Structure 1
Amino acid sequence: MSDGARDYDIIGSQAEVHKHKSEYLEAHNIQNQLLQASPTHNSYHLGFTSINVAEIEVLMGVPKNLIQEKIDAAYTIAKGGQNKMLMIACDLIQADFNLREGDMSSFLFRQCLSVGWGKSSEAVTYCLERLGDSSRWEESHHLSSWATVFLAHSSKGKQKLEIHKALQFLGDLFLRENDEVTAVSLFTLALEGFTQMDIHRSRAECMIRLGDISSKNEDLLRALELWETARLLFERSSQTKRVQDVDERLVKIAEDVKEQYKRDLARLAELKAPRGKVEEVGEDLSEDELGKEAAGLVAA
């Protein structure tokens, strides 16, 4: 192996570590530098680096035209050089990109599974992870058994990160069936693993779900704590849309806290607190003050 090829592999490995932890901006910067430095005569490096950049851009939410250009360029190289592995990689990223853009067809994923099964564990894992994540599919297009298949495949290969992702996906399925107890157990178990491995985006996704459950059960302070931490983790993993989703939750929880104060005042009145005390609390927490108190909790 030449020094140039060795350096390329080392730098590429650094990008993979960042991607693994969902530090997508760092991974993208490295892969983009490799793409710019790739010699045009080395179609192998150029094709795989193009598809590596496209993969990260799908995860980051980069505009679709920029992504499709890179996928098309990699497809051209794969077809011209009869490179089957690059062709599979292109199909995988194209399928993931199509799903991100709302295409609920699983045909390309299934095709990649058929080609990769027994030949490329990495390709199989990639497909099963996407097929098993019910949060990305409309309910009518998703088979719950995919999450179980993903868990079995990951367990067989002793893939720690993928095992915990499968547990998270199973938690989604139990939550869909209104089994909150089992869902919370699975999300908590997955979160512990993601925290140990320092996987930012997956931690945030579990925290969002646990926060939603806490909010539903009127444990607003717990929900607030989980959502605020999730927001920081989504920022760290360059998930702009998810940050906006969390901000919407935080605005809503300010209103919920305000309503909770009102209910507490009503309960005080029902308990027949000493004359003057309820009125005193009511004056201290007027309509405007309630809003300020709620906003203060969110900003704290």
Structure 2
Amino acid sequence: MSSVNDSKFTHALFLLTGMPGQEDIHLWFSAPFCLIYAVSIAGNSVITLIIKIDQTLHEPMYIFLSVLAITDIGISVATMPTILGIFLFNSREISLDACFAQLFFIHSLQCIESAVLLLMAFDRLIAICNPLRYASILTLPRTAILGLVCVLRGMASMLPLPFLLKRFQYCQSNVLSHSYCLHQEVMKLACADIRVNSVYGLAVTILTVGLDSLLILLSYVMILRTVLSVASRMESLKALNTCISHLCAVLLFYTPEIGLSLVHRFGNDSSHLLQILLGYVSLLIPPLMNPIIYSIKSKQLRARIIRVFIK
């Protein structure tokens, strides 16, 4: 459906983009994306199941990890069907309501993942800086409440987005630059003043992902200060080793997310292909790599996984 000049006409559908200029080999792209989808769902499902059935893993660190795994499953389910639909069947059309629902779930789940990573940093901070009070501070009921707050914050902060977008008419163009819907992309297609959407989107990003990343950085500054004050080098390395998997998850999530946000808001002259690749990396790589990282670095979790599959 092409764009029109009549401002009274509203497009009923959006068109999603795969790899622009590479339509002839879209089918070849589907193979690695199918593999990423399968590994992400399987890996995170296994971690969630293991933590659920093994009573010895009912600790704050593993409970937060299970919430992270469920969130990663949600992100994969929210994005991959439309991506594979484009690459496998050239199914590019998506209704406005379906698009608004998809962007709500994508942004909500990313906000939840950011909050969970913050809680995991908080868990490491207490375990290293105040180990004697760890069990009394992070009790299971308190851990459950913190997890629930993460979910509610993510959903509540992103709930206005579909309603802010639904009030617009989309008469300029109906072609989105990604294989899925994002708020910052959809609002640019509106034939109306989008300042409210832009300000709200930026404010929410700063107050959620931006604040979370700042607090995570502060947590690791305090952890590093505590570790460096320990006389024994062996104990310092042992303490830092418990943070490696979390640090990898943080870098996987925040690096492409911050890069994509900067490109969307300030990189008007940046390559369109760069935006698409950053979008794929920010949404698809963390769900793929997180279960692998935690399975490798956590001896206790790895042992439980091996024991279950052997049985």
Please give the TM-score of this superposition, normalised by the length of structure 2.
0.25
Give the structure with higher Rg (CA): 1
